[in-house]
Amino acid sequence: MAIWLDGTDFARYALIPEELLPGWEGTEADEVIDAYVSALRPAGRDVLTLGAEPLSVTWIAEALTFARWCHADDDTGLIPAVLAAGSADGWKDVLSLELGGRYVLADAAYEADRILASLRDAHRPAEALRVELPAGRYRVQSLTVDPDPNTRFMLDRLLPE
C-alpha cells in the first residue's frame, strides 16, 4: 500500500525543492489553485503543483508518477493500474519543467515549519513525502484511469525529455 497525503484543505500540492523548503511560506502557489497541473519558478527553481480538487495524493517512484485518489474502496489496484497505463493511449501533455535533486511533496499552503515537523514525526499521519529525481528536463503528462467501475485515479507522470 502506498503512503497517501490525505487530502488538502486548499486543493493544491507542491513539489518543493528541499533547498527552498526552509523559506516556504505557503502562499507561493496561490495563483494556481484552479489548475490541475502547473508550475511555479520561485528563486529560479521549478516547482510542480497539483491542484484544483482536494484529493489525496501519493508518489510512485518506480513509475515517476503522482496518483490522486478520485474514488476507490482501497488502493490495491493502484500499482497494476499505473503499470498498465504506462503504454496506454490518452496521456495528455501538460507542461515541461527542469527538475532534479531532493524534493518534498506537501500541501502548498503549509508553511515550512509544519512540513518539516511532518517529515520528522513518523507517529502522526503523513503530511509530506520525500521525492528524489535525477536532474533533467521532464514533460508532465496526465491521464485518468478507471481500473474497474468503482475505482478512479488521476495520474500525472514525469517523462525525461
Average pLDDT over residues 86-97: 94
pLDDT (average), residues 63-85: 93
Residue 1 maps to a domain: no
pTM (2 d.p.): 0.94
Q: How many domains are contained in the chain?
A: 1
5 assigned to some structural domain: no
Lowest mean pLDDT among 59-63, 75-79, 124-128: 124-128
- What value does the mean pLDDT take over residues 46-68? 93
Q: Is residue 41 part of a domain?
A: yes
Domain that holds residue 93: 12-160
- For the chain, the average pLDDT equals 92
> In which band, very low, low, confident or very high, does the pLDDT at 7 lie, cut at 50, 70 and 90?
low
Q: Given this model, what pLDDT does residue 1 score?
A: 67
Q: How high is the pLDDT of residue 68?
A: 94
Please check whether residue 7 lies inside any domain of the structure.
no
Burial label for 123, CB within 10 Å (0-12, 13-18, 19+), is exposed
Has residue 4 been placed in a domain?
no
pLDDT for res 83: 93
Q: Band the pLDDT of 107: cuts 50, 70, 90.
A: very high
Query: Considering only CA atoms, which of 73, 64, 51 is closest in space to residue 5?
Result: 51
Q: Using CA atoms, how far apart are residues 69 and 74, in angstroms rounded to an integer?
A: 9
